[in-house]
Amino acid sequence: MKIGAFGEVMLRLTPPEYLMLEQTHTLRMAYTGTGVNLVGNLAHFGVESYLLTALPANRLGDAALANLKSLGINTSYVIQKEQHIGTYFAEMGYGIRPTEITYQNRKNSSFGLATVADYTIEDFIDTVDLVHICGISLSLNEHSAEVALAVAKTAHRKGKKVCFDFNFRPSLNQEPDKKRVMKERYQEILPYCTVIFGSVRDLSELLERPMDLSSRSAKIRSFQEFLSDYQIDWFAGTTRQSTSEKKQLSGYLMTSTEWIETEAYPLDSLDRIGAGDAFAAGILLGYSENWSLDRTVQFALGNSRLAHTIQGDVPLTTRKQVDQLLTHPTIDLNR
Amino acid sequence: MKIGAFGEVMLRLTPPEYLMLEQTHTLRMAYTGTGVNLVGNLAHFGVESYLLTALPANRLGDAALANLKSLGINTSYVIQKEQHIGTYFAEMGYGIRPTEITYQNRKNSSFGLATVADYTIEDFIDTVDLVHICGISLSLNEHSAEVALAVAKTAHRKGKKVCFDFNFRPSLNQEPDKKRVMKERYQEILPYCTVIFGSVRDLSELLERPMDLSSRSAKIRSFQEFLSDYQIDWFAGTTRQSTSEKKQLSGYLMTSTEWIETEAYPLDSLDRIGAGDAFAAGILLGYSENWSLDRTVQFALGNSRLAHTIQGDVPLTTRKQVDQLLTHPTIDLNR
Amino acid sequence: MKIGAFGEVMLRLTPPEYLMLEQTHTLRMAYTGTGVNLVGNLAHFGVESYLLTALPANRLGDAALANLKSLGINTSYVIQKEQHIGTYFAEMGYGIRPTEITYQNRKNSSFGLATVADYTIEDFIDTVDLVHICGISLSLNEHSAEVALAVAKTAHRKGKKVCFDFNFRPSLNQEPDKKRVMKERYQEILPYCTVIFGSVRDLSELLERPMDLSSRSAKIRSFQEFLSDYQIDWFAGTTRQSTSEKKQLSGYLMTSTEWIETEAYPLDSLDRIGAGDAFAAGILLGYSENWSLDRTVQFALGNSRLAHTIQGDVPLTTRKQVDQLLTHPTIDLNR
Amino acid sequence: MKIGAFGEVMLRLTPPEYLMLEQTHTLRMAYTGTGVNLVGNLAHFGVESYLLTALPANRLGDAALANLKSLGINTSYVIQKEQHIGTYFAEMGYGIRPTEITYQNRKNSSFGLATVADYTIEDFIDTVDLVHICGISLSLNEHSAEVALAVAKTAHRKGKKVCFDFNFRPSLNQEPDKKRVMKERYQEILPYCTVIFGSVRDLSELLERPMDLSSRSAKIRSFQEFLSDYQIDWFAGTTRQSTSEKKQLSGYLMTSTEWIETEAYPLDSLDRIGAGDAFAAGILLGYSENWSLDRTVQFALGNSRLAHTIQGDVPLTTRKQVDQLLTHPTIDLNR
Amino acid sequence: MKIGAFGEVMLRLTPPEYLMLEQTHTLRMAYTGTGVNLVGNLAHFGVESYLLTALPANRLGDAALANLKSLGINTSYVIQKEQHIGTYFAEMGYGIRPTEITYQNRKNSSFGLATVADYTIEDFIDTVDLVHICGISLSLNEHSAEVALAVAKTAHRKGKKVCFDFNFRPSLNQEPDKKRVMKERYQEILPYCTVIFGSVRDLSELLERPMDLSSRSAKIRSFQEFLSDYQIDWFAGTTRQSTSEKKQLSGYLMTSTEWIETEAYPLDSLDRIGAGDAFAAGILLGYSENWSLDRTVQFALGNSRLAHTIQGDVPLTTRKQVDQLLTHPTIDLNR
Amino acid sequence: MKIGAFGEVMLRLTPPEYLMLEQTHTLRMAYTGTGVNLVGNLAHFGVESYLLTALPANRLGDAALANLKSLGINTSYVIQKEQHIGTYFAEMGYGIRPTEITYQNRKNSSFGLATVADYTIEDFIDTVDLVHICGISLSLNEHSAEVALAVAKTAHRKGKKVCFDFNFRPSLNQEPDKKRVMKERYQEILPYCTVIFGSVRDLSELLERPMDLSSRSAKIRSFQEFLSDYQIDWFAGTTRQSTSEKKQLSGYLMTSTEWIETEAYPLDSLDRIGAGDAFAAGILLGYSENWSLDRTVQFALGNSRLAHTIQGDVPLTTRKQVDQLLTHPTIDLNR
């Protein structure tokens, strides 16, 4: 199964060795974004992977393109126009000190300014079997929201699978009335989707659906009603539990009739950004290869746990690494 | 004499060791801009120096502010609002390979979005004796152009000296009709100015003045008419001569009655960005301390030549270094 | 309240990535010292902060000065004379391997050689409302001890608050009879002080006061006698508890009538040097803003815990970061 | 025209900042080789470019593959087998100090051990219109020589163009009788080739052809006899002239009837390795797009001169950069 | 007691900051190997230490030699011939992500190609009192196995002590029938040895000895039979226990009559490679200085635990550091 | 011939990539000094080389010692006492910008505080055939001057050759009357010396000898009288000629009857510190191996020219490199 993603490419700039911006004259640079992370990871799993996005038509855009190619991503549908790339600075946290993200220039980026007419959406959809859409596209601005919807509708029309990640970021949606607009956009795209990544909060707060959380079975019923309403195949996500001593991660995956939840594993985190996309990549791998729900969610969670131990957003894990973690979790040296 | 500057602060990101963006995962970061370069250099000459500018109200803006302070710049009049800083990537050239600049996010930066109401222009002008305005502010967008004009007018009204650098960048002014607008803006600001940095081209092409270049004396006459028209004290600039073998630099400085031009010196260039601002800093130092024209232009050119040998835009030269170059030009080791 | 500090500026040289001196050809350089850490941190809290110190009158001293400015410290009272700066190499420990500090050139540094006559102590004290004095100045040599006493006496005479940090280092006081001299110097300075940072050991071993540690209430009584004797407002410090598995940190703060001690928090330490100064900065912030004892010590301890997670000695924490740790201790990503 | 190359991928390890191996604990790593350089450069010119080679079937081979992709090279025909990659250390020279290359593990590399049966030569040749073969393959060992001949013969049989670079390295051919074997291999491959890169020495010493160098016209006649004998379309190469003061570079290009030689340009060299491949890439671009001989050799030489100014072997030049050098040779800053 | 080791020197290349090969253009370089680690560590303990090995006769070999010298190793018996050095890339793991080792060019290295005739074994043995032989030499190829046996026999003949480390690596011995050959080689060398590093598995699987593990006393008896059979003085090793939460390390040391096992300590691991050699160095120090079994194994285990916290393979610990860990295990800062 | 040197070891700290102290948070560290440079270079020529010096008895001294060993220097006579090492910061110049040296802590270093009683001078002199003494030892302080004289006298008494380098630094001798003291010290040491490095100025200004420079032959006569007076075998030095365009270097070598001067070669300088020591190393190599004057001075000058192209003070040149420069001066790549 060929998998494509529609999403923004961002430039990530990270001070070395847990330094803060004020302390350093040096930065590590990488190209990232939900779509990049997802199809970059899938390419490392051996899946033929495509990205639909817009990069600047300048030397920085060229460098970004070279980096996407190095991840194994097929970039035939990447366009170059305008001059800017969304950027973020990540001051890496340590222990109780949180990682601090500072965004730059997101709304006026090449991706933010690209319209449906700029892309070759039909050809892209013809090429892939499944397309992943990141919910941030719905929030970023009207251009990106329109493209996201067009991608979903085109895929649905052509009989391709659509996967959607809620990825709702309150910080990108603070204008008055924005939340209502967002709810409508999410409701508009959901009917075209068959695999969804999300959480209770996405359903209860964003979509304002009544969620009965009084018992485990009630919660499952509430979810499954949502799945039935939109005829969704799979709904998946992760749960983080934090105490002052320890952080833990578990994953869940459900259909309209089944519900699987993994045990919670301790997290030893080098760089937590992108770990959600690693979980999604694992789920899509299982979905595209018809794995059982259980094997899929175990693989996805293992992949996400490994992604926490990798510098940068893009999960560069291989099947071999994830399988070794699941079968021999205490090996710490391969030679 | 206390000297202030109004101008944009930019983030400069430079790959190490002459690498290109495509070749590196590491960048050197610095904060720069005509105003920064000028008052940063003057602070190294022991002059009390101020900057009027706008930085982002986030951690990146805080880091920029810390860097301005480390240059010795008084930042009391720097404001923090909005979220973005203009950025450029500098791929350093070597030999026949030119340095490549890629700009990001300039028009929507904190500086680009700041208006006259955001700044405390009156207080700033009360504090300084001379204010330098970079011509790029006139090009960037309407907000920055309005602030530049307000600064010039306020200074003039309060009896402070105004220094203006044409710094006309055709690449920032390619919209139709933009050139006409720019000519008007330049004509509007000039009557308030007493020290000008510019070139023949600025007068002939931008201001569309008739310049008689048929002989040296005719050229001088053309310039001096311009100085008389606008009651300008000093007009200065540098001239670069390039052959495939060698680059050379000379400087000129004129009043409405005098004209001094230095000999041309060979250039051994490590980083040519910011060297024009070093020349300006040297001229302003001589102007503020009532040096002779000759001493001033020799110091300014020596300063500019040294600035070509310093990594980054900001000329970190001291009086001692410039004086040693002028008096003992072949010393290559101080111990 | 404007706060000043008198203390040594040191050059810290640190091998990267936990390497040892023998393993590296590269060092990270930073400028530090109790006074720098304290007022640098207070400047990040928005307090107008000053440093009274002596730096070399050469390019290294200039670079040190630029770095102090970048921290937001007002350097008007920093003098430059002589040629040397105290230096230390910090080989960062990891796990059970301790951090190793190797000092260079402390006694003959510009700071060590500066005398009362070199500084403008009267002006400095006129400018600030509270002055912090590091006890190391009493140990370093006679010059620095004299200056420390002069600062304390001048402040007291002018009605300014004096804060004193015992910071007694046995390793700097190993000459015969030095301990007796030190006891006298500490006894001489204490009557001028109103805020003290110290420990049981400072009182029992250095000052040779009888401390009854047989019960908690007895210990409190012993401390409060000391506070009464010297009319001290606040006495504060931290306690580290280490087992082979875990390190923990708690803080205490007392007046002559009250005693508050925080719970012990686990420490996840990236760089423990300077964390004591972070605690002191937090205490002084609360003192200068009339916070309750409880709020003060909680903030100070949170600040110290964060400082353990920051590379280098200088705590670059902001109020926002400390407050977030206290209110939302499990957040590990801000975006 | 689609262009492919058959050649070895090598790992290049370079100490930073002109340091020698003995002086550094750090290395810059890159993947290179005549084929990589050539098709990597052509990809930057917008040509669809392929590489036929063998990489290790391990994580190092995976990393090499990712780097080839980032250059824009189509890697569909790259195989992974065995465990080793040929490696060289490049201690960068400066001024009169030569660059020192130390090779490691070339003969037992994946490329050295790969045989005709391992590759899909037929498919590769079907895909491309022109194939470039590096003469080093004939020297390395019997396996690589056989593959090189098979590639040439298959291309010839299928009516595709064959380009061959003599690249004769005496140091790789020092076994007794090796020179005779090499002459036979070169004679065997030449009949299949239509574009050749070489020098007088290749013809006179390696092929032992009589070359009359007594006059310019005699030399041209000798060359053109060679071209006629083997029905070669184009023969090209560069000439370096060195004095103690200056190095210069010129290029030549001939058909059986024409002879063009450029003027000699001064060389300002940052990294001279790979500059010959840049010349070849320029020639092939002109050949594939039917440029005039003159335009072709000027472009190729400009490209080679630029390649001398780029860190690393792979010429990352674009058409825009080469064209700017040819039309505006003194521009040293693009903004 | 002078101690020598026979073993391979390898070049280790490590990406910085836990990056993977795919993510970096920079590597840290170091020279390592069981023999290097052992005698390098012993030199740090003040023992006169020698290495018998073969390095390339080129600039890389020269650099390796310089690095061995810097460790304090006497290199009089190191020869230089052939061109290659065995190399490995170490992608450092983090948390649940294992460290990944990729070997290059081991069998054709200078060490792999050196024969008995190349070395001056007699002189080497005359110089030292005890010689350590790494079992990998028996696996690498026939040349290195022959040299290892010659070293053991010569030492035995001259009345010197021989220490042998099983170090059996299944991955180096996967050819059919290789295991039988290996068993014979191990059986051939053991009669000459008096100190052995190994494990239950070495005895039961490689030597195919019956080991009764049904009870602690039975296990001890099985081991002590082995010691009696080969007249071995000391047999020692470490045991790692891993759960998903925690790793722990203990050590054991036995004679034919005694058995000592330490408690298990938690491991906080920065770089676990080389930690086994640190244990061996500690044992040999105790053996050569006639320490008690208990003191020896405690020191050796402390040394090994510290080695886990040091970047790189070579344990650069001093006696002072190990002693401090044993006596004051919670000190985390020495100043 | 075994060669030893008596001289200070200094720590050199250099910002990367031509940055200034103010611009960097990173430094490159190396250990250097005239003696280190000389015997380090001789060790690279294959000469058995020793250093007599004092290093700190701490971890920094240990690291320095490891670095001396890595250069191939025999460190048996290096002592460790006291705590400090002389340090200098080298801000590398570029083009017309001079390199700036800032010294730290020289007079109170371990070397400065070591006395005749601390060293084993007799054994050192017994071991070597020729000893080199750096004139800076005479200037540094009384301790080092006494040791230098003791070394010279002991060597003379035992019939060993003494080589002395004037190396007079006015900046280290600015106290009143210091020049007279220095003249006496130089006059005291010269009778024991047979090879001298110096210049006209050393003889005329420091020793206040009448030097007739009116003609070449007069100058030679003046020098040769000096050689006769002190029974000096060889006197050598280099001459630098600088214009604004170009720097050039030539060398001279004379006996009491012969005078040889090389032509002047252009200098392409990466790091000029230590190049004088490279010239001295070349002269001593020729002296110790009885080369002709001409071969010696050509080799020495070639060595010095190469040393200008090497980062750092220590000339790491080999005989092979110098010989290649002399015989094939235009080769710029060895592979």
Taking the Cβ of residue E249 and every Cβ of chain C, the question of whether any pair is shorter than 8 Å is answered with no
- At residue B89, the pLDDT reads 98
What structural domains does chain F harbor?
A: 3-327 (3.40.1190.20)
Query: Could you give the CA distance from residue D80 to residue D109 in angstroms, rounded to a whole number?
Result: 11
In the block, which residue shows the tokens 């099983």? E166
Query: Could you give the CA distance from residue F13 to residue F90 in angstroms, rounded to a whole number?
Result: 6
Residue A205 has φ and ψ, to the nearest 5°, of -90, -45
Are B29 and A27 in contact, with CB atoms under 8 Å apart?
yes
Residue F319 has φ and ψ, to the nearest 5°, of -55, -40
Query: Could you give the CA distance from residue E279 to residue E324 in angstroms, rounded to a whole number?
Result: 17
Are D31 and D12 in contact, with CB atoms under 8 Å apart?
yes
Residues of chain F with pLDDT under 70: 244
- At residue D244, the pLDDT reads 65
| C22 CA: distance to closest CA in chain F (Å) | 5
pLDDT digits (tens, 9 = 90+) for C110-120: 999 999 999 99
Q: Spell out which residues of chain D touch residue E100, defining contact as CB-CB under 8 Å.
A: 59
Mean pLDDT of C98-119: 96
pLDDT digits (tens, 9 = 90+) for B83-142: 999 999 999 999 999 999 999 988 899 999 999 999 999 999 999 999 999 999 999 999
Angle value at C-alpha A226, between A221 and A230, nearest 5 degrees: 145
- DSSP H helical ranges for E231-292: 275-288
Tallying the residues shown for chain A, one arrives at: 335
Q: Give the distance between the most distant pair of CA atoms in chain D.
A: 57
Rg (Cα) of chain C, in Å, rounded?
Answer: 19
- Helix or strand run (H / E) with residue A26: strand A26-32
Task: Enter the DSSP assignment of A167.
Answer: -
Taking the Cβ of residue D72 and every Cβ of chain A, the question of whether any pair is shorter than 8 Å is answered with yes
- Helix or strand run (H / E) with residue D280: helix D275-288
- The one-letter amino acid code at F251 reads G
| E16 CA: distance to closest CA in chain A (Å) | 10
- The SS3 of residue E110 is helix
- At residue C246, the pLDDT reads 82
Per-residue pLDDT of chain B (335 residues; tens, 9 = 90+): 999 999 999 999 999 999 999 999 999 999 999 999 999 999 999 999 999 999 999 999 999 999 999 999 999 999 999 999 999 999 999 999 999 999 998 889 999 999 999 999 999 999 999 999 999 999 999 999 999 999 999 999 999 999 999 998 877 788 888 889 999 999 999 999 999 999 999 999 999 999 999 999 999 999 999 999 999 999 999 999 987 678 999 999 999 999 999 999 999 899 989 899 999 999 999 999 999 999 999 999 999 999 999 999 999 999 999 999 999 999 999 98
- At residue E291, the pLDDT reads 98
Tell me the DSSP string of D221-251: HHHHHHHHHHT-SEEEEEEEEE-SS-EEEEE
| D292 CA: distance to closest CA in chain F (Å) | 33
Nearest to A65 by CA among A83, A82, A78: A78
- At residue A268, the pLDDT reads 87
CB-hemisphere CA count at 13 Å for A52?
30
Are D220 and D211 in contact, with CB atoms under 8 Å apart?
no
Taking the Cβ of residue B265 and every Cβ of chain D, the question of whether any pair is shorter than 8 Å is answered with no
Query: Could you give the CA distance from residue D140 to residue D162 in angstroms, rounded to a whole number?
Result: 20
Residues of chain E with pLDDT under 70: 244
Mean pLDDT of A106-133: 97
Q: Give the distance between the most distant pair of CA atoms in chain F.
A: 57
E135 Cβ contact partners less than 8 Å away, ≥ 6 residues apart? E164, E165, E166, E167, E168, E186
- At residue F244, the pLDDT reads 64
Residue A101 has φ and ψ, to the nearest 5°, of -105, 130
- A-B CB pairs within 8 A amount to 81
pLDDT digits (tens, 9 = 90+) for C15-52: 999 999 999 999 999 999 999 999 999 999 999 999 99
**Which chains pack against C, by 3+ Cβ pairs within 8 A?**
A, B, D, E, F
Mutate: best of E9, E28, E29, E107, partner D, most D CBs <10 A: E29
Taking the Cβ of residue F71 and every Cβ of chain E, the question of whether any pair is shorter than 8 Å is answered with yes
Task: Enter the DSSP assignment of D289.
Answer: T
Q: In three state form, how does the secondary structure of F245-296 look?
A: CCEEEEEEEECCCCEEECCCEECCCCCCCCHHHHHHHHHHHHHHCCCCHHHH
- At residue A244, the pLDDT reads 64
Q: Is the pLDDT of residue A18 over 70?
A: yes
Q: How far is CA D288 from CA A161, C286, D36, D130, D277, in A?
A: 42, 76, 18, 8, 16
Cβ contact, residue pair E104, D89, below 8 Å: no
Cβ contact, residue pair C17, A20, below 8 Å: no
Are F200 and F218 in contact, with CB atoms under 8 Å apart?
no
Torsion of CA A198, A201, A202, A208, to 10 degrees: 150
Query: Could you give the CA distance from residue A234 to residue A291 in angstroms, rounded to a whole number?
Result: 12
Taking the Cβ of residue B25 and every Cβ of chain E, the question of whether any pair is shorter than 8 Å is answered with yes
- At residue D171, the pLDDT reads 76
Nearest to C220 by CA among C194, C248, C253: C253
pLDDT digits (tens, 9 = 90+) for C285-319: 999 999 999 999 999 999 999 999 999 999 999 99
Mutate: best of B9, B102, B141, partner A, most A CBs <10 A: B102
Q: How far is CA C204 from CA B207, C210, D244, D332, in A?
A: 81, 6, 76, 71
Query: Which of E16, E266, E321 has the CB atom closest to C17's CB atom?
Result: E16
Are D247 and D241 in contact, with CB atoms under 8 Å apart?
yes
Query: Could you give the CA distance from residue A300 to residue A288 in angstroms, rounded to a whole number?
Result: 13
Q: Is the pLDDT of residue D172 over 80?
A: no
- Pairing mode, if any, of strands C247-254 and C259-261? antiparallel
Are D261 and D293 in contact, with CB atoms under 8 Å apart?
no
Angle value at C-alpha B42, between B40 and B47, nearest 5 degrees: 120
pLDDT digits (tens, 9 = 90+) for C119-167: 999 999 999 999 999 999 999 999 999 999 999 999 999 999 999 999 9
Query: Which of A59, A66, A105 has the CB atom closest to B108's CB atom?
Result: A105
pLDDT digits (tens, 9 = 90+) for D236-258: 999 999 876 789 999 999 999 99
Please, which residues bridge with residue F89 across strands?
Answer: F13, F102
Taking the Cβ of residue D91 and every Cβ of chain E, the question of whether any pair is shorter than 8 Å is answered with yes
Mean pLDDT of C252-257: 96
- At residue B62, the pLDDT reads 98
pLDDT band at D317; cut points 50, 70, 90:
very high
Q: Spell out which residues of chain E touch residue D87, defining contact as CB-CB under 8 Å.
A: 87, 104-105
In the block, which residue shows the tokens 């309407």? B142
Taking the Cβ of residue A29 and every Cβ of chain D, the question of whether any pair is shorter than 8 Å is answered with no
Q: Is the pLDDT of residue A245 over 80?
A: no
| pTM of the model as a whole | 0.97
pLDDT digits (tens, 9 = 90+) for E137-193: 999 999 999 999 999 999 999 999 999 999 988 877 888 888 899 999 999 999 999
Query: Could you give the CA distance from residue E39 to residue E43 in angstroms, rounded to a whole number?
Result: 6
Nearest to C31 by CA among C52, C2, C55, C5: C55
Query: Could you give the CA distance from residue C171 to residue B174 in angstroms, rounded to a whole number?
Result: 68
Residue F241 has φ and ψ, to the nearest 5°, of -115, 125
Tell me the DSSP string of A42-94: HHHTT--EEEEEEE-SSHHHHHHHHHHHHTT-B-TTEEE-SS---EEEEE--B
Q: What is the ipTM of this complex?
A: 0.95
Mutate: best of F62, F69, F320, partner E, most E CBs <10 A: F69
Are F120 and F150 in contact, with CB atoms under 8 Å apart?
no
Query: Could you give the CA distance from residue E268 to residue E265 in angstroms, rounded to a whole number?
Result: 10
Q: Spell out which residues of chain A touch residue F25, defining contact as CB-CB under 8 Å.
A: 23-26
